[in-house]
Amino acid sequence: MDRDYDPIHPRGTDWRGWLRRIWAPIGAAVVLLAKFSFAALKFFSIFISVAAYSLIWGWKFAVGFVLLILVHELGHFFEARRQGLDATLPTFIPFFGAFVLIKNAPLNPWRNALVALAGPALGAVGAAVCWAIGNATDSDLFRALAYAGFLINLINLIPVGILDGGSVWRAIRLARHSVEAPPGQQFAMGSTYPIAIPGGGSSRAMQIGLLYGALVTLLVLGMLATHVSQHRL
């Protein structure tokens, strides 16, 4: 018998489509939560650090100490942003300081050294401000903060590992074993040594070394000028 209609054939459940409808909003919520959690961690890490340092030195000194660390890290952040680099705001780790992430940093010894030196340089300015306030108000608290500020920035310039000093000395070494690339040329690896890179060359290495030495000298002088007897503040 001929039919003038198509018979209805029952279809099975579209499990894949059903799962996609279920997991799509869940996945979006997880991504949003992860982003919010990371932002919240960055925000609250500074308060966690204050609480941690308060256990050792009291809350007044702890607040000032964490702010000095923040000033140091903002030095890296502002210099990286000035160069057009993708830098994150500082994240604090109690008893270990803080850090700024810089993504896709270029192979450029001069620019890399400026980013590394900017932290201790701005940190030294922050310590000098504490010193000026301490002298103006005759406050041993601010003098002690100034001394601590000069000290932690000097420690960061020790030329080892992941410290700023290590980054500076790696930049010096790379600059010494390279030559300045022509304008507009990003990187040149030829059959001869040394390589040609932006910010390279012995003159750049000398400039970086002079900046490093001058900053170390200023920090040492700042420590000598602001030393006070140690006591709980």
Q: Give the mean model confidence (pLDDT) for residues 173-179.
A: 85
Residue with tokens 């400026």: 114
- Asked whether the predicted pLDDT for residue 19 surpasses 80, the reply is no
Domain ranges of the chain: 18-226
- My answer on whether omega of the bond before 194 falls inside 30° of 0, hence cis, is yes
Which of 215, 106, 209 minimizes the C-alpha distance to 150?
Answer: 215
- Asked whether the predicted pLDDT for residue 35 surpasses 90, the reply is no
| Per-residue pLDDT band at 14 (split at 50, 70, 90) | low
pLDDT tens, residue by residue, 46-73: 667 667 767 777 888 889 999 999 999 9
Q: Give the mean model confidence (pLDDT) for residues 205-222.
A: 96
Residue with tokens 């830098």: 87
Q: Give the mean model confidence (pLDDT) for residues 96-105.
A: 80
pTM: 0.72
The pLDDT value recorded for residue 227 is: 84
Residue with tokens 């809350």: 59
Tokens found for residue 85: 């680099």
| Per-residue pLDDT band at 108 (split at 50, 70, 90) | confident
Tokens found for residue 168: 């500076």
How many C-beta neighbours within 10 Å does residue 48 have? 14
| Per-residue pLDDT band at 12 (split at 50, 70, 90) | low
